[in-house]
Structure 1
Amino acid sequence: MSTTIEPDSLSRLLTRERLRSYLSATGGDLSAALRLYDWNIRASASVMATVAMVEVVVRNAIDVQLLAWARRRGEDSWFEILPVETRGAADLDRALIAVERRGVCAGFHDQVVAELTLGFWRYLVAQRYLTSLWVPALNKAFPLGYRDLRERRRGVEAHLSRLTYVRNRAAHHEPIHRRDLRTDLRSAVELATWVNADAGEWVATRSPLESVLMRRPRPR
């Protein structure tokens, strides 16, 4: 911490309750806890950036396959024929309504795809949609994944679940300093690679997370 910042004053603003995990990790050293808190902010921003890279690659790859699947059925869009249960249907409806309210005409489809959450895409690769979506369409979004389609589905779902969880923790300013963030980074790189090797290389070389992990403050 900078010598111009009073740790006790700052801790009152942040609250001891919020600093609990940081104090625990630093043996009760308030200055060290605040340094770790500061690092956690940078790590969270890096997680958000990394997951954002993967999310766009994944959702676009899935969208391409869903469009092809819909057109084989004589439809121009998959929005109206997606065989999802209540949760997925509600997420899709919310995205459609949000875009309609903005009065979007050009690029309506792409705007809806962008409006859908990472959790929605994770939901689509769940076991319940193995025969209705995964086998006929979605597995093709990850051509470089495991050869066995069932194993590939499990791998994609596991990666998406992991990235959704850590992204949500980061987005809500929760502690992630105890988490194995290098495994999260490997998961992000692998999932992007399953879509396209260049995408995996892009995430691996451009994600800021590795450099942030190298600058984690050490206990004194």
Structure 2
Amino acid sequence: MDHLSDEEIAAVAVLLSSERLSTFERLAGSNRGAIALHQEMLRLGASLMTVTAVVEIALRNAVCDRLTEHFGTADWLRRPPSHFRWDDELKGKIGLAESSARKAAYAKLTQEQKRQLDPVAFRKHGGTPPAGLSHEKVSKARQAAITVPMGQVVAQLTMYFWKRLFSADYEHALWKPALKRVFPDKSLTRAAVATQLEAIYQSRNRIAHHEPVYGRRLVQTEAAIDFVARHLGNRGHDGATPLEKLLELELNELKVRADAMRQRLAALQAGEPD
């Protein structure tokens, strides 16, 4: 932060807030050092987010493929077979995801295309919005008339949903008959997979809210990412999974940044000048 004057450092500290910088000040010992550490943590977070994003996408698509095969229907998410039921929480998540997908689709329509939804949206009113109905209610009724493909609903579901499928609640209904094939190593248990997904989920959320990931949490996250990369899918002749090879460059970059952060923090704790 040598390129910033003392006055600029003070101004930046206000922009970032003293509350946010307090953790970094405890580590760095000065306002200037705290700001420098804050920026370095964000760069590390960016590397983590790149990797966790790919892991999340790969996980959800692998799960979708496996459950489509298991249930024998492409729309297993919204219309699962009669012998299977979502718990209330996940059923609610699916409903919210579908509503969000409809809202996103509606936002892309022209005004004329939106009006063309009225015959379905207001069938009980002769295909016309009732007089005096608010704009918000008209929009919601029109959105409810939109049919969105499952892929758009899947895209609206968060990491929380996908990691919950590996919870004990679904061990017999999903893990044993289907999802253990997402992680084909027979030595792996559902609980082991769930633990690693939880670690990734927790750090992913911290990064999304611009919170730092370091120390033991960083080590656990790196281990969890490595676990998923090595075990999601089948390994090739070279002993690596396609996901592991896809993330090779990003994982190397993450390791470099993580090691640099560990060295930086160790130096600060040893009292070395920042």
TM over 0.5: yes
* Alignment check: 8 A CA contact 2:229 2:244 kept: yes
What SS does the corresponding residue of 2:18 show, helix, strand or coil?
A: coil
Give the superposed CA RMSD. Answer: 2.2
Compared CA separation, residues 106 and 210, structure 1 to 2 (3 A): farther
Distance in 2 of aligned mates of 1:193 and 1:92: 29
SS of 2:75's partner is coil
Give the one of 86, 91, 98 matched to 2:93.
91
Post-superposition CA distance 1:9-46 (Å, at most 9, x none): 221222221111111112x2221111110111111111
Q: Relative to structure 1, is the Cα distance of residues 110 and 173 closer, same or farther in structure 2, using a 3 angstrom cutoff?
A: same
Q: CA deviation at 1:155?
A: 1.6
**1:127 and 2:171 are equivalent in the alignment:** no
Q: Structure 2 vs 1, CA of residues 50 and 76 (structure 1 numbering), >3 Å: closer, same or farther? A: closer
List gaps (5 residues or longer) in structure 2: 109-145, 234-240
Aligned mates of 1:62, 1:35 — CA distance in 2: 40
Q: Which has the higher contact order (CA 8 A, sep 6+)?
A: 1
Normalization by structure 1: what TM-score?
A: 0.86
TM-score w.r.t. structure 2 length? 0.71
Contact 2:50 2:250 in 1 (8 A): no
Deviation at 1:87, TM superposition (A): 1.2
Q: What are structure 1's unaligned runs of at least 5 residues?
A: none
Tell me the equivalent position of 1:183: 220
User: Partner residue of 2:200?
Assistant: 163
Assess, with a 3 A threshold, how the Cα gap between structure 1 residues 176 and 206 changes in structure 2: closer, same or farther. Answer: closer
Q: Percent same amino acid among aligned pairs?
A: 26
Whether the aligned pair in 1 keeps the contact of 2:98 and 2:148 (CA below 8 Å) is: no
Give the structure 2 partner of residue 174 of structure 1. 211
The reply to whether residue 143 of structure 1 matches residue 184 of structure 2 is yes
Shift in CA distance, 186/201, structure 1 to aligned 2, threshold 3 Å? farther
- In the TM superposition, 1:27-66 aligns within 5 A as 28-66=29-67
Mapped pair 1:110 → 2:188: no
Which digits, 9 at most, give the CA deviation of each residue in 1:53-77, with x for residues without a partner?
A: 1111111110011101111xxx442
Equivalent residue in structure 1 for 2:191, among 154, 167, 182: 154
Q: Does 1:202 align with 2:202?
A: no
Give the residue type in structure 2 aligned to 1:160: L
Q: What residue number does 2:133 align with? A: none
CA shift in 2, pair 1:76/1:59, >3 Å: closer
